[in-house]
Amino acid sequence: MTSPTRTTNTESQSANRTADRAQVMPTAEGWEQQRTSEGRPLLQFASPRAKQPPQHLADLSLEERQAKLKELGLPAFRAKQLSTHYFQHWTTDPEAMSDLPKAGREELASAVFPPLLTEVRRLRTDDGNTIKVLWRLFDGALVESVLMRYPGRITLCVSSQAGCGMNCPFCATGQAGLTRNMSAAEIVDQVVAANRLIVAGELGTPEHDQERVTNIVFMGMGEPLANYKRVMNAVHRFVDPVPMGLGMSARNITVSTVGLVPAIRKLADEDLPVTFALSLHAPDDELRDELIPVNNRWKVDEALDAAYDYYAKTGRRVSIEYALIKDMNDHAWRAALLAKKLNERGRGWVHVNPIPLNPTPGSIWTSSERPVQQEFIETLRAAGVPTTLRDTRGKEIDGACGQLAAAE
């Protein structure tokens, strides 16, 4: 048993550590956040009117594909053959489609598989286990995906929008605002392209010869729930059985948001047991209003209520993402407040993932010190909240997820 004296000492040390700590407030470094006339950071929920990419097979359900082929004057069963090439063999090359009549094969392939992603740059970590690809879309917009090998799983971090309208002061993606929503097929094609890279032996040492992307996280560019319809369409393509879709498990797909409450509630009603992650990063509105501007629309408690209701409806445990930023959001009292808010709503429904940022000397967006990280984690655990310090793989190639990436 801990003696009262020791407890008091530990408490006062902890209190001192906290009392001595500064409060750094968020501000954009090296760029100006767009503001409204009332001085609030500007939020863009709707995509500007922009030309959409050509329709692709992956935009359509199997029935829609069959209808499209009929429109092209072809039998509906060709839809299944084309789907098998794309969703099972990850190919759009007419040469490989020997089950289709040679005459007109090329025209057909280019009608249903217009090229959506053009590789601009590929960066790989030294061990080859992480690859970041920068893609150019049909209209010149740039997005990226990050492919990561872990023991027993391969995760792809995908983008869902070109740019982002959420204007978070730490995020490079948000700086230029939202260019446009990505189409479902542009999202799906990132996964198909990643599968091709894996098959080509580009991602480290294979564990077996049937490897493919097993997990998807929507933590690349964009706020996925601001592009709700297309993101859901893409999720259906991920989980629909082969050859309708990629045949992945919904639980291995993580949809993450900064807290678009009505969309979280809609997601809970979808009957798709995806994993849901809330990028919270602060438990108090005073800080979160500045750190995550969408908090001006939906407050911490509203976002946590919606997250809890997601758990209640789906039975899927929710993840809370929390980037630990030195002297900004890493105070022990914030860990205690977060634990209190989570526990008030129930036990066993949530898991917290603190994520240390990269050390960035001279920037306010820098990593918390080790003992502070530890204190934060211990405070949550002591309150009974399951907490795991997250792997921040990919940072050495600046491939950390957009939701978390500090401006550098």
Separation between Cα atoms, residue 80 and residue 77, nearest integer Å: 6
Of the listed pieces 3-11, 65-73, 163-171, 241-249, which binds ligand SF4 according to CB under 6 A?
Answer: 163-171
Give the shortest CB-323-to-ligand SF4 separation in angstroms: 9
Give the shortest CB-403-to-ligand SF4 separation in angstroms: 4
Catalytic residue selected from 144, 186, 290, 321: 144
CB 406 within 8 A of CB 170: yes
Instruction: Give the C-alpha distances (Å, rounded to integers) separating 137 from 51, 403, 404.
Output: 12, 21, 23
Task: Quote the longest CA-to-CA distance of the chain.
Answer: 87
Query: Is residue 357 at the binding interface for ligand SF4, with CB under 6 A as the rule?
Result: no
Contact set for ligand SF4, span 203-222 (CB under 6 A): 221-222
Assign 367 to helix, strand or coil. strand
* Choice between 155 and 403, CB closer to ligand SF4: 403
- Binding map of ligand SF4 across residues 251-280, x = CB under 6 A, - = no contact: -------x----------------------
Give the shortest CB-248-to-ligand SF4 separation in angstroms: 23
Tell me the residue number closest to ligand SF4, measured at CB. 174
Instruction: Give the C-alpha distances (Å, rounded to integers) separating 351 from 265, 319, 346, 408.
Output: 19, 5, 12, 28
* Choice between 100 and 303, CB closer to ligand SF4: 303
Element (H, E) at 131: strand 130-136
* Structure token digits, residue 344: 């008030």
Query: Is residue 53 at the binding interface for ligand SF4, with CB under 6 A as the rule?
Result: no
Element (H, E) at 145: strand 142-150
Give the shortest CB-18-to-ligand SF4 separation in angstroms: 27
Query: Is residue 144 at the binding interface for ligand SF4, with CB under 6 A as the rule?
Result: no
Query: Is residue 402 at the binding interface for ligand SF4, with CB under 6 A as the rule?
Result: yes
Query: Is residue 168 at the binding interface for ligand SF4, with CB under 6 A as the rule?
Result: yes
End-to-end CA distance of the chain: 47
* Choice between 218 and 376, CB closer to ligand SF4: 218
* Choice between 201 and 262, CB closer to ligand SF4: 262
* One-letter identity of residue 58: A
Phi and psi of 358, rounded to 5°?
-70, 145
Helices (H), 130-227: 184-199
CB 246 within 8 A of CB 196: no
Phi and psi of 263, rounded to 5°?
-70, -30
* Residue found by looking up tokens 């730490």 in the block: 170
* Residue found by looking up tokens 């992307």 in the block: 213
Say how many CA atoms lie within 13 Å of 373 toward its Cβ. 17
| The one among 215, 329, 373, 403 contacting ligand SF4 by CB under 6 A | 403
Of the listed pieces 98-106, 170-178, 296-304, 363-371, which binds ligand SF4 according to CB under 6 A?
Answer: 170-178
| The one among 26, 174, 243, 259 contacting ligand SF4 by CB under 6 A | 174
DSSP per position, 228-243: HHHHHHHHHHHHSPTT
Query: Is residue 223 at the binding interface for ligand SF4, with CB under 6 A as the rule?
Result: yes
- 252 closest CA partner among 214, 219, 283, 290: 214
CB 185 within 8 A of CB 83: no
Give the shortest CB-22-to-ligand SF4 separation in angstroms: 24
144 is catalytic: yes
Query: Is residue 318 at the binding interface for ligand SF4, with CB under 6 A as the rule?
Result: no
* Choice between 167 and 368, CB closer to ligand SF4: 167
Helices (H), 32-118: 62-71, 78-83, 105-112
Of the listed pieces 75-83, 100-108, 165-173, 335-343, which binds ligand SF4 according to CB under 6 A?
Answer: 165-173
Give the shortest CB-166-to-ligand SF4 separation in angstroms: 4
Q: Which residues pair with 178 in a beta bridge?
A: 163
401 is catalytic: yes
| The one among 92, 125, 155, 173 contacting ligand SF4 by CB under 6 A | 173
* Choice between 66 and 366, CB closer to ligand SF4: 366
**What does the binding site for ligand SF4 look like in residue numbers (CB under 6 A)?**
164, 166-168, 171, 173-174, 221-223, 258, 402-403
What amino acid positions are annotated as catalytic residues?
Answer: 144, 401
